């Protein structure tokens, strides 16, 4: 009986210390610094065939950048960048053919890589996406380094499974 409580207490303690035991990594939502005087401009075009004119954009870290999206296609498109580090996810909303819209953001002060894409349903799945390389790049901040799970939850589950026979024996 005494061991049941010890095992239960240790399990709860390990789980509470670890915090979120989600099986997949959640997207980070963070705040972004604003800037008003861009020192760099990037122009991206949405083109027919569900593609952008570029598949990779390189920008310096910790820099105020003006992103301009021009829609050259007859379909409506947008330009969305997945947030990373101190930069929120940002979007230039749906743009009609021949229209250009801009947004000014401050890139985070880290070397990293994130995704840009068209969030209109079905467009990203048809290939309308690319990579935004900040600084010298780095690991893709939106990809898990593990195959869909982390090791600590797996070890905790194994610990609990091994503890059950011990608890039943007493």
Q: For 84-105, how does the pLDDT look when each residue is reduced to its tens digit (9 = 90+)?
A: 877 888 999 999 999 999 999 9
pLDDT tens digits, residue range 126-167?
A: 999 999 999 998 765 555 444 444 555 665 666 666 766 666
42 lies in some domain: yes
For residue 64 the two structure tokens come to 């105020």
Residue 63 above 70 pLDDT? yes
Residues 6+ apart with CB under 8 A from 40: 59, 60, 63, 64, 65, 66
Q: What is the mean pLDDT of residues 7-32?
A: 39
Query: What pLDDT shows up at residue 40?
Result: 94
Query: What pLDDT shows up at residue 140?
Result: 56
Query: What pLDDT shows up at residue 146?
Result: 45
Q: Which domain range does residue 52 map to?
A: 22-143
34: confidence class by pLDDT, cuts 50, 70, 90? low
- Cα atoms in the Cβ-side hemisphere of radius 13 Å centred on 78: 12
157 lies in some domain: no
Number of separate domains in the chain: 1
103 lies in some domain: yes
- What pTM did the predictor assign? 0.62
164 lies in some domain: no
The answer to whether 84 touches 112, Cβ cutoff 8 Å, is yes
For residue 144 the two structure tokens come to 């898990």
118 lies in some domain: yes
7 lies in some domain: no
> Strand order of the sheet with strand 64-71?
51-52, 40-47, 64-71, 100-106
The CATH number given to whatever domain includes residue 37 is: 2.60.40.420
Q: Where are the beta strands (DSSP E) in the chain?
A: 40-47, 51-52, 56-59, 64-71, 77-81, 90-95, 100-106, 112-117, 129-134
């Amino acid at each position: 009986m005494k061991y049941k409580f010890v095992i239960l207490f240790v399990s709860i303690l390990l789980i509470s210390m670890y915090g979120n035991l989600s099986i997949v990594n959640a997207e980070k939502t963070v705040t972004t610094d604003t800037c008003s005087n861009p020192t760099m401009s990037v122009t991206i075009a949405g083109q027919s065939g569900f593609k952008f004119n570029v598949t990779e954009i390189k920008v310096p870290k910790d820099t105020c950048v003006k992103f301009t999206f021009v829609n050259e296609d007859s379909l409506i498109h947008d330009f969305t960048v997945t947030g990373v580090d101190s930069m929120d996810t940002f979007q230039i909303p749906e743009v009609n053919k021949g229209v250009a819209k801009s947004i000014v953001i401050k890139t985070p002060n880290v070397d990293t890589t994130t995704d840009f894409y068209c969030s209109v349903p079905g467009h990203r799945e048809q290939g309308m996406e690319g990579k935004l390389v900040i600084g010298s790049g780095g690991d893709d901040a939106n990809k898990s380094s593990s195959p869909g799970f982390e090791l600590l939850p797996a070890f905790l589950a194994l610990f609990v499974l091994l503890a059950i026979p011990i608890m039943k024996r007493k």
